[in-house]
Structures are given as C-alpha cells and as structure tokens.
Structure 1
Amino acid sequence: MYIAVFSFIVCSAVMVAGQGLYNYRLCFGATWICLILYTVAKFVIYVFLVERIHVVRAPFVRRSRDWLYLSCLVLMSVSFLAVAVNAYLSPIIIMEADDGRCHMGIPGKASIPFMSVDIVVDVVLTSVFIYLLRPVVKMHGLNKTHVVRVPKSPILGREEEVHGTAMRKSIRKLLWKSLIGSLLIMIPTIANMIQFYIMQGRELALICLTLCTLDGKCDCLSVYTNTWQVLTI
C-alpha cells in the first residue's frame, strides 16, 4: 500500500508541477493515473481489513481453510471490482476552453456506488473484527484485572496482574484505533465522492489529485497504527 500511495504522490507531482496539464493528452494521463493508483490503494486497504480478521480469528490456520476469511475476501473483491470497473468505463476528462484547465472525475452513477461500497465494506469488516475480539475482551475483562491460574506466589501474582492490566489496555487501544481508523478510511473517500457528485464529475484536476492524496495518506496512517497495535498484543 505504501508503494501504491507513494507512486500516486510522485506521479501526481510530475503531472501537475512537471507537465502542467496544459493539453488533453496530459489531462487524460493524469486521470487514468489517479483512477488506477487510487483504486489499487483502496483495494489493498480492504485486503488489510480482511487479513486483520484472519489474524484475530485463526492465525495458525491456512487461509484456504478459513471459511470466514474466504467469504469476506470474495465478497469484498467482487463488490469493489464491480464499482472500480464501473468507474473505469465512465471517466470524465475535460479541458475547459475558457480557462484551459484540466477537469477530471467520475459521474454520479459511478461515485455513489463507489461511496456506498466503501462505507458498507468498511463497516462490515470492522464490525466482524470487533465481534471476533469479544471473547478476548470477556476473557480479560475491560473493568477488572485478569490473573492466570498458577501456583500462588506474591511475586508471580504481581507480575500476572501487571500483565493482565497491560493486555486489557492493549485490547482497549486496539478497539478504539479500529473505530478511528475506519472513520479515517471512510471520511476522505466520502468527501471525494460527494465532491464528484456535486461537480458532476468535472472536478479541477489539482483539487481531485489533492483529495485523493489525502485519502491515501489517511489509509496509510490507519494501516500503520492498527498493524502496530495488533503486533504489540
């Protein structure tokens, strides 16, 4: 995902600052760079959400034998590829004659399904992840200290109490970061798709590339924080 987002930033900078988007050919190239790299980055973030479910549910089971992982992966892939292809089939590429500036985007018939799928997939995969954490939360408890059954020892007891407290705090942080990360993934995409809908797909190229860049950065931040929290547990 870092490669996809970094490539998007570099290509966008080259097209805007280096080339200038002063003719239709450059506008056409920038539009397809935006579409392809943006959808690749989004697909990777959804794959991460599915992988997160597998790590929590059955980390020692082959993915080919994890029915929940396969179901989430297939449903996510089919729904996302459908809206991505729909966007690929109807891009809007316009060089305005009055100001000579590039306008790009996707029409409402493509932006609304894209936004809907993004919200549904994000909410469903995050909900499944939190649901799978419920047994762990109940086991360790969020309001009491978890102590493992071992021979009584004041020293061990103190160590176990500290360990249980740390585990409880880590799980709480993971739950909150998962919720916040889901919002960070959804909000920029929703804002971008609403902008496309309001502008009827004729968004100024610089604004479009800027919003997509911010969206990709939010996705990277969400992946980084969630991955680090899972590893610390």
Structure 2
Amino acid sequence: MKLLEAVEALYEARPYPPVGFLSPLQPLRRDDLPLLSYRAAYASSFGTTVGAAERPRILVVGCGTFEPVAVAAANPGAEILAVDLSKRSLDKLRWQARWRGKSGQIRRLQGDLMSISRSEGRFDYVIATGVLHHLVHPQKALHHLIQRTYPRAVFRCMVYSQWGRDLLYGAKDLAVCMGADTPRKFRRLMGSLPPNHPYRIYFHLYEDAKTDGGLWDGYLHPCDRP
C-alpha cells in the first residue's frame, strides 16, 4: 500500500479528532478563536489590516472532523473550503457544521491537497494544522498551496517539532521493534515499562492517547516525521 493510501485508510477508519455524539452541544473554546482569525493573522504578518479581504476565502487542508467549524466561528462571513482525504471525517464535519449553524460557510472537498485545482480559485488564508509533516514531499505540497493563493495571502501552518516529540518518537521506534502495532498492544507495552520511564510518563501525559483514534494519530501514524 502506498503511503498516501495508508494515511487515507488510517483516517477513514478512525476520523480525527474523535468527536462524540453530544459534542455539538458543547460550547466552542472562545479563547482559541482569535488564533484562527484571518484579520489577526494578516495584521500580525503585515503590521496593518489595510488591504485585508473583507470576505476572505479560507482554505483548510487536512481539516479533519472539526477545525473548519472553529475557523468559521472566528471568521464570520468568510467562505471556507475544507479539504481532507477521509470521507468519514468530512461526513462528521458536515454534521458538526449543521448543528452549529455553519453549513453555509463551509464547503467540503475530499482528496489530497495536491488535487486542489485552479478551478477552486485563489485563497486569502491557508490553514494547515498538523498536515505537512504527514506528506512524502512537503516542500512540493507547500509550493502547490502558494500557487493557489493571492499575493498577500496569509499562511497558518503547524508542524511537529523534532525535539518537542523526541520521547514520542522514541516510544514509537520501540513499538516498531516490539511489534506493538495496535492501540491495545501499544498500551500494554507502555504499561510494561518502569513507572519512572520517560516514555511511560510522556505517554500518560499525552492527552490524545486516551482514545484509540488519538493514539493512532500520535503514536501509530505511518508518516509523521518532521
């Protein structure tokens, strides 16, 4: 199986982030919304909001099950294109958007970010949270995204840090050696380590590891090296 197909299969089987049935009833974390604001990002990049689009076109790649909903809340009136490999993730996103009254702002597109064609137009703001490090050729992907933006577009990209995830990668390498290739096997392996072992301590502090979907995304992903 090719790497892209493996990543698609991972998120098709386990949409990320995991969202519960009652999650639309939970309020958005308002403190996080300014971090997703186009105007705030524009001002931070150019030192002014002069020239910022009044109704920005926003591209969210590798959008998962929820992020575009928060982006819509942070950018009222914006037009948002949400792209993801996983149909199941996009289905969950549609459900979240409908319940939160954001369906009119968000259009969904299933596929690889390299499949975003010129017919989709150009964008003022590109958000790629935890996406580029999952790609075989991230530089090529970033260049492709740049070609889909206006000259004064703003990018918000988050990529993994080698040193920030050093203990995670060490545990992941250990799991490969020990054949711990499922959440159940991985948790058993971590539980077999001494209580004060750095890998075990980090694992218990890693919030996403509390769910199988989060554990697959963090520890068992086929491609996530920075």
TM range, smaller chain: under 0.3
Counting helix residues as a fraction of each chain, which structure ranks higher?
1
Counting strand residues as a fraction of each chain, which structure ranks higher?
2
